[in-house]
Structures are given as structure tokens and as C-alpha cells.
Amino acid sequence: MPSRTILILGGGIGGLVAANELRRLLSREHRVVVVEKNTDHAFAPSFLWLMTGDRRPEEISRDVQQLVRKGVELLHGEALGIDLAAHRVETPAGSVTYDFLVVALGAELAPESIPGLAESAQMFYTFDGAAKLHNVLRDFSGGKIAIVVAALPFKCPAAPYEGAMLIADLFQRRGLRDKVDLHLFTPEPLPMPVAGPELGNAVRKAVEDRGIAFHPLQKLTEVNPATRKISFEGKESFTYDLLIAVPPHRSPRVVREAGLANQAGWVPVDSATLATRDENVYAIGDVTAIPLPGRWKPDVPLMLPKAGVFAHAQALVVARRIADRIAGKAARDKFSGEGYCMLEAGEHLAGFASGQFLAEPSPQIKLRQIGRSWHLGKVLFEKWWLAAPGVKKETLRLLIELGGKALRVPAAIG
Ligand SMILES: Cc1cc2nc3c(=O)[nH]c(=O)nc-3n(C[C@H](O)[C@H](O)[C@H](O)COP(=O)(O)OP(=O)(O)OC[C@H]3O[C@@H](n4cnc5c(N)ncnc54)[C@H](O)[C@@H]3O)c2cc1C
């Protein structure tokens, strides 16, 4: 069998899972190469705990090399250009040719696309931002906090709501809750609209029960750092003491320049196989655009949320399909659209939303009652994710699968 090179762009959630699964499935004559611009990988769901001081920076990040199986070639550097016709990717260390390409480059943040936002807002959507916001919150003794989702789409539809509830809990723990006026603004009609009105209203209630004012359908247009005023399209402006934003997202430049993206800037893929228009090029995770059955406004189609749980599941599907194709077998694995999310609510409690996102006529998602077990599940998952491949990781996987069975929830993590 001729030797093949599978090139994976991005060593985040999707890229790491794809690389490790391919290395597990393929014999050593085939190369599995990952191009990743950062030397360290930080686990994004834990940024919220970094913000609240429940984690230290070193507890939630690892050298990327520690997270890949032996035999995965890690190329540290930025993917600068993708030549689809020549099957070649340019990196600072030279060009790499591929037989199969997996684009797992995620979404990048573009705070500069809204006037005044970059210079005024704190954020918990990056490792550095969450660490800095921890210090800002520690020194904050009272006033109005505005948490603003600047634009759609954004990754992890639950994160702004979790962030708001954890900040409320933080001030509660410090005995300052009555001095802090918390507001959450979003362009969405209700939390996590893709999951339907029942779940959205339950999350809205959880937020409002914690004294957080919820402002839906607010499209941020501008921030004035001098007057601390945020403006919204056709709505009243708001004056804040502390502004925390989920900045606008966009796909990495290299993806847009390669001609892989649609008009909105995301990569359209087959929802079952994750193949792009080019049959040897797959895209997974946040960089993709996958329409779902149903609409959240008459003219706006639902899209699969940008979430690690999907990047992970899609990576397994793509790795298995590529391995089958290399072995000359029919590729059978398909992305099912099943997903779940542990929604942190403070006080070491979390909710659990899960279901079928590709269900007809619209996604079928259920929210389980808030409890301690979902929070513990999230902690266990974090430990599993950050463990190096080996015995400890296997043990944690078994524990998660046992817990999942006991609670009758999906917990297959591959
Ligand atoms: C605060 C927060 C909380 C979250 N909580 C959850 C949660 O509870 N559950 C959940 O399912 N999801 C959660 N998410 C979302 C989840 O982190 C993302 O959906 C997931 O990381 C997407 O995986 P990905 O592989 O597509 O992209 P990423 O994990 O972002 O990986 C992309 C990688 O590509 C690299 N890269 C980018 N451009 C280049 C380039 N040109 N060259 C080389 N490398 C490049 C990046 O450095 C990065 O390592 C959360 C996100 C945030 C911010």
C-alpha cells in the first residue's frame, strides 16, 4: 500500500482528536502531520473557571506535544496558504503536500470589527483574556457590569450564560452581590435559540433567578470608551462600569483566501461526511457551516452551534472515513448530530442539555435539572481532556463512560 500523508491544520479540539484517532487506526507507513501555530493548548471550557479563580493557568493548559500520540508529527507554525489544486500547504518551515487534508482551524475573534470594542472590553473567550478578567473581577467592588454577545455566530452557545451565572456566584461568594448590577445583552431572541423555546426559556429563567437582567435582540453597533456607553441598533444605549464581551467571530484568513469558505466566511461541508467540495479535503469544528432543519426567524436558517463536542465527534468520523478509504474499504462512519453540553450555573452546580441537532423537522434538545453531578461530569471531562494519552487517560475515559451509563446520558468520547 503506498504511503499517504494526512495533513491536519489546527491542533485544537478537532485537530487533536483527528490526529490521535488516525494514528491509532493507521500503520506507521502513513504520516499524520498536525500544523498548529501555538505551542500550548488551553482547554476552552475551563476559561470560565480561570476567570472565577477556580483554576490556575497551568492547570488548564498543556504543551500540544503532550496531547498527541507517539508517531503524530507536530509542526509548530502557522498555516500561511492552502493550494487546493497542488495539494499543498505553506508554513514558515516550508510547504507540506498531502493526500488528505483536514481543516480544523477553528474560529478567530475579531473585536476590532466593532468600533471601540477592542479597547474597552474584557473577555473570557481567550486564555489570556480570562486570566486578566480574573484580576479585574477581583478588584471590582461594585457597579454595573454589561456582558455583551457582540454578534452571531459565536462558539459555545451556553458560555455567555454560564459566564454571567458564574460571575453572579463569584460576587455572592465575596459578599458583594447586592453591589453588582449584572446585565446580559445578546442579538439572540432567547438563550441558545437552536435548542428551542422550552430550553431557551429555562436558561433565561436560571439567569434571571440569579438577578441577572436579560436583554435579547440587542445588536451591538458601537462602544464609547470615554463615556462607557454601549450602543445597539434601534435600542437604548447602556452605561457600564465594566464591559465583558463575546467578540465577533470569523474564520481564519488562510481559510477565506483558499476559497474554501462561503459568503459568510465559513466552510460548507456535507453534514454527514464533513467533506468539502474537494473530496480529499475535510473540514471539522468551528470553521464549518452546517445548516440544520428548522429556522429561528422566518428568513434565518438554524446552524449547528460551534462547540467542542461537535468538533470532537466530527474528528472521529473524518479520521475513520480517511482510514477506511486508505484501506480501500467503503467509508461508513457518519456524523449523527448528537450533542450535549454541561451548563455551569455557579455553586458547583450545572445543567445538562443533550439531544439530536440534525433531527427533523427541528433539533430535539432536552435540559436536565440543574445538579451537582453535571458539574462533576464537566470536571472529569476536563481532567480526561488534559491527560496525556496513556493509562491515566484510559482510566478517566472508563469513569466517564460509567458515569454516563449511570446517568443515562451520551458519554462516548472516543
Ligand atoms: C469560554 C468557552 C467555553 C466553552 N465551553 C464549551 C463547552 O462547555 N462545551 C463545548 O462543546 N464547547 C465549548 N466551547 C467551544 C469549544 O472550545 C470550541 O467549539 C472548540 O474548541 C472548537 O474546536 P476546533 O477544533 O474547531 O477549534 P479550536 O479548538 O479553536 O482549534 C483551532 C486550532 O487552530 C489553530 N490555528 C488557527 N489558525 C491557524 C493557522 N493559520 N495555522 C496553524 N494553526 C492555526 C489554533 O491555534 C487552534 O489551536 C467553549 C469555548 C469557549 C471560548
Which of 16, 35, 36 has most ligand 1 atoms within 8 Å of its beta carbon, as the pocket-test mutant? 36
Round to whole Å and give the CA distance between 293 and 301.
8
Residue 241 and residue 145 in contact, taking contact as beta carbons nearer than 8 Å: yes
- Residue 86 CA, ligand 1 centroid: distance in Å: 28
Ligand 1 atom closest to the Cα of residue 284 is 26
Axis-axis angle for helices 391-407, 372-386 (nearest 10): 160
- Residue 186 CA, ligand 1 centroid: distance in Å: 21
pLDDT greater than 90 at residue 328: yes
Which pLDDT value is given to residue 330?
Answer: 95
Axis-axis angle for helices 13-25, 308-326 (nearest 10): 30
- Residue 324 CA, ligand 1 centroid: distance in Å: 27
Round to whole Å and give the CA distance between 403 and 79.
39
Ligand 1 atom closest to the Cα of residue 48 is 1
- Residue 287 CA, ligand 1 centroid: distance in Å: 9
- Pocket residues for ligand 1 (CB within 6 Å)? 10-15, 35-38, 44-45, 47-48, 78-79, 104-106, 124-125, 155-156, 159, 252, 254, 285-287, 306-309, 311, 341
Q: Residue 334 burial by CB count (10 A; 0-12/13-18/19+): exposed, middle or buried?
A: middle
- Residue 13 CA, ligand 1 centroid: distance in Å: 6
Q: What is the 3-state secondary structure (H, E, C) of 183-209?
A: EEECCCCCCCHHHCHHHHHHHHHHHHH
pLDDT greater than 80 at residue 261: yes
The more confident residue out of 233 and 293 is 233
Model pLDDT for residues 170-228, shown as the tens digit of each residue: 999 999 999 999 999 999 999 999 999 999 999 999 999 999 999 999 999 999 999 99
β-sheet with 180-185: strand ranges across: 213-215, 180-185, 143-149, 242-246
The more confident residue out of 137 and 405 is 137
Range 360-380 average pLDDT:
92
Compute φ and ψ for 11, nearest 5 degrees. Answer: -110, 50
Model pLDDT for residues 53-77, shown as the tens digit of each residue: 999 999 999 999 999 999 999 999 9
Range 325-348 average pLDDT:
95
Ligand 1 atom closest to the Cα of residue 11 is 49
pLDDT greater than 90 at residue 403: no
Compute φ and ψ for 155, nearest 5 degrees. Answer: -80, 150
Question: Taking the CB of residue 270, how many other CB atoms lie within 10 A of it?
Answer: 15
Which pLDDT value is given to residue 414?
Answer: 67
Query: What's the one-letter identity of residue 89?
Result: V
- Residue 135 CA, ligand 1 centroid: distance in Å: 24
Q: Residue 162 burial by CB count (10 A; 0-12/13-18/19+): exposed, middle or buried?
A: buried
| Choice among 163-172, 224-233, 301-310, 400-409 with the minimum mean pLDDT | 400-409
Nearest protein Cα to ligand 1, atom 4? 45
Q: Give the containing element (helix H, strand E) for 386.
A: helix 372-386
DSSP 396-409: HHHHHHHHHHHHT-
pLDDT greater than 80 at residue 301: no
- Name the average pLDDT for the chain: 95
pLDDT greater than 70 at residue 292: yes
pLDDT greater than 90 at residue 325: yes
Give the position of cell 454589561: 146
Round to whole Å and give the CA distance between 382 and 379.
5
Which pLDDT value is given to residue 362?
Answer: 86
Range 341-352 average pLDDT:
95
Range 20-32 average pLDDT:
98
Which pLDDT value is given to residue 296?
Answer: 66
